[in-house]
Structure 1
Amino acid sequence: MLSLRSIEKTFLTELGTEKRVFKGLNLDINNGEFITVIGSNGAGKSTLLNLIMGSITPDSGTVSLDEKDITRDELYKKNSYISKVYQDPSMGTAPSMTVFENLSMADNKGKKFNFSFGLNQKRKNYYESLLSELGLGIEKQMDTEVRMLSGGQRQCLALLMVTLNKPKLLLLDEHTAALDPKTSKIILDKTDEIVRKNNITTLMITHNLEDAITYGDRIIMLHEGEIILNVSGEEKRKLTPKKLLEKFQTVKGRLNDSAIFTA
């Protein structure tokens, strides 16, 4: 479904030196697959998502979706079939608009009249039912400006917004990292439910090894721009955070920066 071939990417640092992130990266993702992406700081996790999304263009190589080369498609085109939830809860929503207005805007994404055609009054009860399932009380705040919501409520709203129209590909860039453990679990469980129910191909970056093991079909570990671990099936189900770190140590030697991972 998604294929990256021979991806090369080098950045120029503030000091004027070159930092080569990817050196011929190859990755294939099946339709409906839910992949968790882990790795140390600077391993290339966010760069990977940005290359797929189109906010960064590779120096060479191709990104293909459904066997179509989308490497250099304009960002607005990719936004019609790829959705992303960011780490910062303030991103992905319009803070000065109400919850209802945000959901209507997201629901109208890609349609001829888009948001200018008006609020989806006929869908209001449906939006409320979706929000009520979260157990965060957002369904009672349909006419509240989003900036008044808590970070967890905004992140839940952002997740619902990007999945209303069932995108071909969902990218989650540490979308629970800024939240407390209780709210994080609510969002992760809801993420898993939405992805499974709608068969949405998904990549989720996380620093939490327990979450990487619990959620998704496959774990990919990046290190210095290379995929050094690719685990799925029964092997993944038997993993623990300790075993996962041991695997990393086996492949790349002793892990000096294990503190960036959390169990």
Structure 2
Amino acid sequence: MEIIRMEDVSVSVNDGLRDKLIFSGLDLSVSKGEKILIKGRSGIGKTTVFRLILGFTRPSSGRIYFQGKPADSELFWDIRKRATHISQDSDIGEGPVMALFEEVFSYSANHGKFDHDTLDMLLTEFSLKREVLNKKFENLSGGEKQRISIIISLMTKKDIFLLDEITSDLDAALKTKVVDYFMANSEWTVLAISHDPEWEREGVRIIDFENIVSNEDSVNKVN
């Protein structure tokens, strides 16, 4: 079942002087349970695809559909209820890690989803000791921050994952472990942006972003 479709989507930004094209001509179809790796040089606009899916960026032209319906403000809100975006920026908060969990799961959308047994299982799965919960998030290593962000997202029990360079600070063994975990669930729809070869495997559809869009060198540093 197709859940996301983009048809001839273009995105431009205004730098105060003129509109600059990020990319144009994007056609993308995503089916439920599909695993997709989006590749391409930094700054070409890959992260903008995730922002389009979540409704934080609107296309300059073209159409976006969710489960066959044209996406509007109300539908984008429904998408955000089902999708979780893990950014390459892993600085998601400050203070004790456990307090960060408590804050996230105090939100009405996450009410009742926190489970200590699930937390313990995921800490073990991603090679973190429970003592990490007492540390200040800002003092963790980049790899620890990435794994905590992953665990929080998994515990929100959503089924669409938009993963932006989430394994960049992990060693090879942990990269493989994280990828294995996301690939194992056939019900999850996973779109990953990554330069890590661990994502390139059987069962993953690889999209070379440079081959499916047109863009301008003048905006190569826009994400």
TM-score for the superposition, normalised by structure 2: 0.79
- Per the TM alignment, residue 129 of structure 1 is displaced from its structure 2 partner at its CA by 2.2
For structure 2, the 5+ residue unaligned runs are 215-223
Matches within 5 A, 1:213-232: 213-214=200-201, 217-223=204-210, 226=213
Indicate whether 1:166 and 2:157 are aligned.
yes
- Per the TM alignment, residue 104 of structure 1 is displaced from its structure 2 partner at its CA by 4.0
- Per the TM alignment, residue 175 of structure 1 is displaced from its structure 2 partner at its CA by 1.8
Matches within 5 A, 1:112-261: 114=111, 123-137=115-129, 139-177=130-168, 179-182=169-172, 185-197=173-185, 199-208=187-196, 210-214=197-201, 217-223=204-210, 226=213
- Per the TM alignment, residue 196 of structure 1 is displaced from its structure 2 partner at its CA by 2.4
How far, CA to CA, are the matches of 2:103 and 2:76 in structure 1?
19
Query: Share of identical aligned residues, percent?
Result: 22
TM-score for the superposition, normalised by structure 1: 0.69
Tell which structure's C-alpha radius of gyration is larger.
1
- Per the TM alignment, residue 73 of structure 1 is displaced from its structure 2 partner at its CA by 4.2
Could you say which residue in structure 1 is the equivalent of 2:94? 95
Could you say which residue in structure 2 is the equivalent of 1:234? none
How far, CA to CA, are the matches of 2:125 and 2:159 in structure 1?
24
How far, CA to CA, are the matches of 1:28 and 1:74 in structure 2?
17
Summarize the Cα distance change of 1:181–1:143 in structure 2 as closer, same or farther, 3 Å threshold. Answer: closer
Higher relative contact order (CA 8 A, sep 6+): 2
- Per the TM alignment, residue 34 of structure 1 is displaced from its structure 2 partner at its CA by 1.0
Summarize the Cα distance change of 1:44–1:225 in structure 2 as closer, same or farther, 3 Å threshold. Answer: farther
Could you say which residue in structure 1 is the equivalent of 2:81? 80
How far, CA to CA, are the matches of 2:126 and 2:118 in structure 1?
14
Summarize the Cα distance change of 1:26–1:81 in structure 2 as closer, same or farther, 3 Å threshold. Answer: same
Summarize the Cα distance change of 1:188–1:17 in structure 2 as closer, same or farther, 3 Å threshold. Answer: farther
Summarize the Cα distance change of 1:71–1:206 in structure 2 as closer, same or farther, 3 Å threshold. Answer: farther
- Per the TM alignment, residue 74 of structure 1 is displaced from its structure 2 partner at its CA by 7.9
How far, CA to CA, are the matches of 1:111 and 1:11 in structure 2?
32
Listed one character per residue, the Cα deviations across residues 46-93 of structure 1 (whole Å, up to 9, x for unaligned) are 1111111222111122222222333444876543221111112213xx
Listed one character per residue, the Cα deviations across residues 238-261 of structure 1 (whole Å, up to 9, x for unaligned) are xxxxxxxxxxxxxxxxxxxxxxxx
Could you say which residue in structure 1 is the equivalent of 2:65? 64
How far, CA to CA, are the matches of 2:66 and 2:15 in structure 1?
31
- Per the TM alignment, residue 176 of structure 1 is displaced from its structure 2 partner at its CA by 2.4
One-letter amino acid of the structure 2 residue matched with residue 62 of structure 1: R
CA contact (8 A) 2:162 2:191 kept: yes
Listed one character per residue, the Cα deviations across residues 21-40 of structure 1 (whole Å, up to 9, x for unaligned) are 33232111111111000112
Listed one character per residue, the Cα deviations across residues 90-137 of structure 1 (whole Å, up to 9, x for unaligned) are 13xx322x333333444455448x4xx9x95xx323312220121132
Could you say which residue in structure 1 is the equivalent of 2:21? 20
Greater shift, 150-159 or 215-224, is seen at 215-224
